[in-house]
Structure 1
């Protein structure tokens, strides 16, 4: 049986999922509420019937693995899932990628009145009463920005048209179809998904850092900053320089080369005031046999035309709102090793705050 799912995400307007369900003939509507996940209880509605599901562990991954994915496989056919904001659509798509469930679309609701403030703020989910567990240290910005960047369709609600918000969305996700909530035609929305939509596919860290083909020229104070360099970072200077990405920045993504870890690529990702750095794997140049290189390294793109994908180097893409692009470039440039440090790299001992980020992302 063909299994298709439409995921509806975002921090507002729970009616959008219901409208898509009505427009998508023969579909089943599922809604999740994770407010009591810390008590190991998940509430879900399937076509209006409420079930309280008790989990062995109160965490998002358990919700996916023990409830949502088995539910999608059991229901079959067409399913619209309106996600609790604590459940990010990218994590759901990752969980179903090895099943026979096909993602038809990810639809994210954007509230014009609040999204920019959420996307650039420092609030933790716990401060908004949105944390999924006691150890959930995600920020509101992460669950605001991520679902928009990952969406195939955006539905804008509330407030007036905001050219600054539009400029941000143009750069964060230029591929997504965009519609106003007023007079929304859900069937037309799904039909407007462009041919190059991701439909649940997630990015490879060694591929291109640009999402689609965003406009690169500044507009209404919003800019795309691209930083590339062919020499490594000094670990402590890099750690200090990353503060420049924590204020006035909507999104940053990048691959980092640190002199104290010559064989390992680090992955940087930020949303608003939350930033993480973790391990991406080995640089392609650290693999002795090209045949052993991950396929994505060979197929991915690069922002630097003079380097092959997966080759050592710095590549960071930043979407700024108020942060001056020249300040970002200057801070990252000053964090690179000097000629003398590079020459003595094999003899010097560097204090490296990123050395512990082998297995999981480290919050900065």
Structure 2
């Protein structure tokens, strides 16, 4: 255990409270390289790096700055999960470092494959007036990705536990799911590598209002400090209603990425959806959006697929979740491949989408067609409200 930092007495927090950004990655080498780059180029930066140790029910915390390792401890957690690590360790640690007056900026490097949104949400709450991080400015959430690995990691079928990157003993997420969530949610995407298809996939997934920085040498904490994390915008990016076809460079002939927006006011026919779901929702694609079904007319349903796996769920009513906007079936699909292969995949998806939609005759009778029918989606969406 190294505790050089605590040799200096704590002093009241200065007027210019340090700015805070959150760093995520699905690659442990990239995360640590980015963290080291920030400390080497900015002497006033301290990085708090978290790594979960599920087998030990603990967390390893390492604090580094330009002088080297300032603090390294292993902390027991009630539950080895990201939310617990933030609540039990990150918040008091960041408050202590901010109060020391030794650093101008703080960086919280999350465990590899962790989602940024839940952590940013918690930090924003704790930065409210009167809370432990009162006055600390959450500037940006930042994801670091290797363009040379994006296609394989996003569209492959590896699980996080197969890569040794699971956050808990029961974490069986596809690696593509973890990578997609990071790209879709953050304020800033930092890239390394130069693969054109990885470049295209990254731009198709990252939020329209996000910023992109190419090269770790361009990652500057002072520039990040000019940002101000917008919690409402971040929530909107993460919500499946926020899935939008994003920007890309159409002039790059070597980019094999593609996207397909499936949209209709009609609901899915439950039985036909199950019959066509293999072509519509699995395989080497990232798909995200919402749908509705006629036997649950008020339900807004989640569609979230990556790494060959698909999650569907009932998120609540359209009135509650979507502010009463009309129900829609809307799914953004992103993939990559050679032109002929990609065209075949897109055609299969389009055919499956069309075949899965209910016809006008099936929905124009006010729901009578569905009375007394078996709820075949109940195993995934839960029991229907009575």
More helix by share: 2
Question: What corresponds to 1:56 in structure 2?
Answer: 78
Aligned residues: 333
Q: 2:330 aligns with which of 306, 311, 315?
A: 315
Pair 1:69–1:357, CA change in 2 (3 A): farther
Residues 275 and 24 (structure 1 numbering): CA distance in 2 closer, same or farther, change over 3 Å?
Answer: farther
* CA displacement at 1:97 relative to structure 2: 3.2
Would the alpha carbon gap of residues 328 and 73 (structure 1) be closer, same or farther in structure 2, given more than 3 Å must change?
Answer: farther
- Separation in 2, partners of 1:331, 1:313: 17
2:33 pairs with one of 15, 26, 34 = 15
Q: CA deviation at 1:187?
A: 4.5
State the distance in 1 between where 2:276 and 2:138 align.
39
1:329: which partner in 2? 350
Alpha-carbon offset, residue 206 of structure 1: 7.1
Three-state SS of the structure 2 residue aligned to 1:263 is strand
Look up the SS of the partner of 1:6 in the other structure. Answer: strand
TM-score by length of 1: 0.79
> Structure 1 residue runs of 4+, over 6 Å off?
195-200, 216-219
Aligned partner of 2:220 among 161, 186, 190:
186
State the Cα deviation string for residues 89-138 of structure 1 (Å, max 9, x = none): 12211222322154211222112332210110111112112212221121
Q: 1:121 aligns with which of 152, 156, 165?
A: 156
Q: 1:22-63 deviations in whole A, cap 9, x for unaligned?
A: 4456332111122x2232011011232111010122233322
Q: Which moved more, 1:68-77 or 1:165-174?
A: 68-77
Residue pairs, 1:166-177, within 5 angstroms: 166-173=199-206, 174-177=208-211
Within-5 A mapping of 1:1-364: 2=17, 4-10=19-25, 11=27, 12-13=29-30, 14-24=32-42, 26-34=44-52, 36-47=53-64, 48=69, 49-76=71-98, 78-100=105-127, 101-158=136-193, 161-173=194-206, 174-181=208-215, 183-187=217-221, 190=224, 201-203=234-236, 205=239, 207-210=241-244, 213-215=246-248, 220-244=255-279, 245-249=281-285, 251-284=286-319, 293=320, 297-298=322-323, 310-322=325-337, 323=342, 324-342=345-363, 343=365, 344-354=368-378, 356-357=380-381
**TM-aligned CA distance change 1:185 to 1:99, over 3 Å:** closer
- Is the 1:104–1:199 contact (alpha carbons within 8 Å) kept by the matching residues of 2? no
Segment of structure 1 superposing worse, 132-141 or 182-191: 182-191
2:111–2:167 contact (8 Å) kept in structure 1? no
Question: Which secondary structure does the structure 2 equivalent of 1:252 belong to?
Answer: strand
Q: Is the 8 A contact 1:228 1:315 kept in 2?
A: yes
Contact 1:259 1:345 in 2 (8 A): no
C-alpha RMSD of matched pairs (Å): 3.1
Tell me how far 1:310 sits from its aligned partner: 2.5
Q: Is the 8 Å Cα contact of residues 204 and 247 (structure 2) preserved in structure 1?
A: yes
- Please tell me whether the aligned partners of residues 177 and 189 of structure 1 are also in contact (alpha carbons under 8 angstroms): no
For structure 2, the residue ranges without an aligned partner over 5 or more in a row are 1-12, 99-103, 128-135
Structure 1: give runs of 5+ residues left out of the alignment: 285-292, 299-308, 360-364
